[in-house]
Structure 1
Amino acid sequence: MTDIARDPAATLPETTSRSLFQLAALRFRRNKAAMGGCVMLVLIALFSYLGPLFVPHSYDQVFSSYVTVAPSLEPRPDEASLKDAMQGVATRARVNLDAFDVTGQSFTATVSAEDPIDPRTTRYFDRANEFDDTKVVATEKDGRVLKVEGKVSREYFLFGTDPNGRDLLARVMLGGQISIAVGLLASLVSLGIGVLYGATSGYLGGRIDNIMMRFVEILYSLPFVFLVVVLVVFFGRSFILIFLVIGAVEWLDMARIVRGQTLALKRREFVGAAQALGLTDWQIIRRHIITNTIGPVIVFVTVVVPKVILLESFLSFLGLGVQAPLTSWGALISEGANNIQSAPWLLIFPSIFFVATLFSLNFIGDGLRDALDPKDR
């Protein structure tokens, strides 16, 4: 006879409970567009911040021989351009170019003149971007003929160069650093001011809330560009001023959103329980109100960051952004727009990274909104 009396609990499979954060993270990972935006944003950040470590050119290095050069995967100069470059060097040195030959990464040249040639003439060769380590190997006809040897210096310009002869690849990387940094820092400034201001206004309510919101509306009425121009006139253009000004304007939207959330939260039971326990208003705001508005705030920050990047680009387009030789994507786009017919790559490359960053942040914001939406739980 079999024993049918068994413990029902012993046959049930073990289950693990998940927190609200784990459930939100699971929903976010299932959103393919949001995950694609995260991957794209990480790749752009790595390109901007780690890319300069692998690029031999600095953002302010000028190549006078390669002004407004088109993008290419081939090294520059090519075999056909080297002789023209050597002829230009000989003309500047006031000598005649009799022979020129390139073998691999080395060159040999024969120059002559009516009078004896100063051996220090080799400095003209080294000043050119195409040649390096030039030295005299033979002297003929009482110094009127010199045979020189040196190395051919080849450069890669994958994104081309700008009208000043600077590598566009290095400048796009620098522009990404500044645009992303301004977007994040200005968003943090708006986050800190807006959350605290909105939570305080919504929780205290009454006349204090009315006064604080009227102050916000007064600031809304001030023209943003006029405010930036006034601050730039008084303090000059600087990187710190840009994100402080943008953050000091963007906190207005954050304050209104947090205030609306606070008005709904302060009537909840846990707030009444905290008041019954004797917590002060500041303790309730800090421990219960602000912590429970994190979800909407995080979603809104992902919207603020691309908006701040757009504002910074707009200021750089007007000439109120960072000062040269520093640059940003907005400044590069402005310069590319002025040269779109003669050098379209100056506009195409920074615009690609700029648009990809904005799309990635928008996809991430949509994914966070869907993951943190209480109606989907």
Structure 2
Amino acid sequence: MPGYEVIGAEERQQIMEVLATGVLFRYEFADQRQGVYKVREFEQAFADYTGAAHAQAVTSGTAALKVALRALGVGPGDEVITQGFTFVATWEAILEVGAIPVFAEIDQTLTMDPDDLSRKITDKTACIVPVHMLGAAADIEKIVAIAGQAGIPVLEDSAQAAGCRIGGQHVGTFGACGTFSFDPVKTLTTGEGGMIITNDKGLWQDMSEYHDHGHDHAPNPGGRGGEGRRFIGDNYRMMELQGAIGLAQLAKLDDMVATQRAHKTRLKEALAALPGVSFRHQPDEAGDSATFLAFSLGEEKHRVRVAEVLRDQGAPAICFADNTWHFYPRWEHLLAGSTKAARGWPFAEPGGRRRVVYAPDALPKSVELMKRTLVYPIQLRMSEERLQQMEQAIGKAASL
């Protein structure tokens, strides 16, 4: 899964081109930088790769969500529907812009259940954020259709899904915009960093300005314009070194995805021997980025026994039902409304009245599914010996 496994001469060469200029900032210093604009080049290359008209680089996948939500006009008084199986950053960003996260169930895609989405829409719903979780696509065409009927924009959280497609169309291009993460364990990594893609030029312009304190960026990617700011912004600028690494990593992305797919196919064939096993539904298996392999058993008790054997045989799999970073019932700080704000924001109004209370048992369908599910991260450098060890471990589990 992680692109750090293949960092090499290409990344070093790109970095050296930046260091030769002495300019690490993505804007200005035209005379000194010798025409080198790595972040802007990375944005254009990523837009071309995904088939989007525009791309905006930022400091992280979390920042990408915040900038996109701001550009879409989301704020206090709004509700944003997302799913109960995602990384905490998805709902942290929603709370950060002042909106209230509303959590939908997941289905066999391990992503947003479109039927539950329909039930959760209200007149306060300002945005829908499906997450292409574990590198595979949500049922995004159905989600976008439901959102379109309600007149609500869709922001695709594609943090884990660079290289994932449906019918040849890259995820992140179905909704109003899509966000990506390039943190240390993503297939395409810049250490930290993120990207937003969109086909809406006006939305891109708003994101471009917001992520740099509201500077108008009229001559982007050169100077920062005439300082005719239209609104307040914040600072989520990607630096040139990250852009340089991103360019080198993007050139390797298709090869990384192909390697992941080969490893995943081999392990999936071994797992097919498990009694009662099923694999997550994907809208387009051929477009899978193959960063993870998820499989479910018929009963939780069977999943527990299988997990124990795999662990004892040195090939442990992840049960996200027990994971504290990615699953709604395990987010104790969200459920408790824990915050450092003295007056209780964002869970309470300044006067102390609670804005929202989250019930631990709010997503029973998701809990039942996740308790039966195990997941293998797919590495790039999996030796023949390691693959054989995992196959043997799976074989032991299949003989229970």
Q: TM-score range by the shorter chain?
A: under 0.3
Larger radius of gyration: 1
* TM-score normalised by structure 1 residue count: 0.26
Bigger share in helix: 1
* TM-score normalised by structure 2 residue count: 0.25
